[in-house]
Amino acid sequence: MRVALTRSGTARMLFLRGIALTHDVVIGALAMLLSLGLRLGDEVFMLDAEAYLVASLGFGVLVGTVGLGVGLNRGIWRYASLPELISVVKTATISVLLFVFVHFLVVRLQLIPRSTPLITWAFLVVMLAAPRAAYRMFRNHRDTVRPGAKPRQPAKRVILIGANDNADAFLRRISEQTGPNYKVLGIIDERGRRTGRYIRGVPILGTLDRLPAIVRRFEKEGKRPDAVILARSREEFERHAPIEDLIELASGEGLPLLRMSDMLDMRDVSEPVEIRPIRLEDLLGRRPRRLSKDTVSNLIAGRTVLITGGGGSIGSELARQIAALEPARLVIVDASEFLLFEAENDLRRLAPQLDVLALIGNVREAATIERIFASVKPEIVFHAAALKHVPIVEAQPLEGLFTNSIGSRNVVRAAVKAGVRAMVMVSTDKAVNPANVMGATKRLAEMVCQAEDIAAGTEGTRFVTVRFGNVLGSAGSVVPTFEKQLELGGPLTVTHPDIERYFMTIKEACLLVLEAAGQGLQHREERGRIFVLDMGSPVKIADLARDVIRLSGLRPEADVKIVFTGLRPGEKLYEELFDRAETLSPTSVEGLLTAFPRAIEAPLVSRILDEMQRHVEAADTVAALRLLSATVPEFTPGREAARLMGLPEDAVLLTEAGE
């Protein structure tokens, strides 16, 4: 069946190219006949009509032959553009020159006037190019109004920011495709050097500060823009103006700010144009880190890698990045069947050749984790499974202790028993001077990994801990919450006007995890370290909320309200990446730092976790929290945790005041 289809496709291609070749031969003959008739007149032409007809036919055959050599008909007529025009000019020029040369050798240029070749060349260029252009226009129109097709949506009127190659490619692409349906009203050149000129017939209207006046002008003409599209990268744009200025201007005019993908990177003319909203990661107070993968490639390639929590935001992105590094096998473990199913399907789509194994398993079940490790024999383990939502863990502290602390101990023990080469644990900035149970449970998990790393010596399993702040776009993070609230018309809820957090992208966080793994194995003699990304300055959540509103083309407070609801249980105004008592040290990777926090010996940690597990299994919340507080002395219990621990009322009031 496949062979028959291939033969049918080949026959159709040859048939179409044969028609195109015949067309070029006929056009060549007609061009010569028209030029002779125009130059000689009817009476003179008829005196040697037979000779002129033979010469014209010969010229037509010559045009067809030259066209084959030049590749005139290799292009697809419906996508005819500048390259095809260049081929037409080449074909016409070479054909005319060869004809003159041959004619001179045969009859010394007798009978044919000297100006005829020039006239023939002009006719030939027009007559070869016109049918191709006409066919392209016909096909584009037919695709637009094809019977039975869904009616096209009205064109979205937009203004482009950036008079550059990307804008030119965008204008060309939307003229060639049936979608997306955009009508570019004008272009803003933030540098002001090309004002008054045109790109593909679209005027360059002025600099960025003229955007409000330009919008007013189009409104008066009944053509109010629907959006503003940034045709540059953020880095390019900010060489001339802060991107916040553009957001403010667009928001002031009630216009959503969008951005386009790099059109020059697109290889296929039929590939759809990607226009998407500006994301908050595009507005980080620092440029996202681009950590080196050189050391990581040797760590992953050809090895069996296991990820706990492989269906979560961090775990699934880790799996995608690891899949690109060509491991021998990738094992993802998660307690959620649905998340596991989604992650596995995603990996099989992205890397169909990769050996992927998806296993249901909960890190709280030591026997299950040990059985999985013994079965798959991982060489590298990434431990991303955890309970991360502060209010939920604050209300159910035993669940947080069971998953985050005891679950991490289960993974550590299974890794040691299976002879894993390296284990990387994903931690959080909330583990620094924790003010909530979630942060304290993660600090206890850090202590487990530190103690085992120190006890293992230079030859044992390497345990590496990575600590970072909030991840933009992760499940349950503030940005998706804001976006859902905005879809419902607001208001956007923020707990406190001054609350601020460190932010990074999911990809950046996973690169940090991978880089830390590589660094940890390169420096096996440095044990008990915690890796942290230099995340720049923290960002106020209220500012994030305002940015979400502005990026939607709305105005904070005027169109969408921001409501402050008060700090949630266990929530701090400020997060820290390092404890003041921790020793900081740079690494060989720019922006990647290490801390050497207080560590305790492995036997002591083991006894503490054994006792903690007894309290958890006995549902003794008071004893478990008191043991947690004693083990993590920097832990300041929140209101609910303090009451659960049986602290006196004055201590609870001090906790609420943040003292």
Nearest Cα neighbor of 32 from 153, 115, 104, 121 is 121
Q: What is the dihedral of CA 390, 394, 400, 401, to 10 degrees?
A: 130
Distance CA(452)–CA(462), nearest Å, equals 8
Residue whose pair of structure tokens reads 């070029």 in the numeric block: 24
Residue 131's contacts (CB-CB under 8 Å, 6 or more residues apart) are: 23, 27, 77
Q: Are 190 and 159 in contact (CB under 8 A)?
A: no
Residue whose pair of structure tokens reads 């801390």 in the numeric block: 595
Residue 540 among the catalytic residues = no
CA angle (247 as vertex; 246, 251 as ends), nearest 5? 115
Identify the active-site residue in 388, 430, 507, 572: 430
| CA distances, 345 to each of 356, 357, 376 (Å) | 10, 11, 20
Helices (H), 461-531: 478-487, 506-522
Strand 182-188, strand 156-161: pairing: parallel
Distance CA(500)–CA(474), nearest Å, equals 17
Q: Are 33 and 52 in contact (CB under 8 A)?
A: yes
What is the DSSP-derived secondary structure letter of residue 208?
Answer: G
Cis peptide before 113 (omega within 30 of 0): no
Distance CA(359)–CA(339), nearest Å, equals 11
Q: Work out the burial of residue 245: count CB atoms within 10 Å of its CB; fewer than 13 is exposed, 13-18 middle, 19 or more buried.
A: middle
Q: Are 462 and 383 in contact (CB under 8 A)?
A: no
Q: Are 422 and 303 in contact (CB under 8 A)?
A: no
Catalytic residues: 430
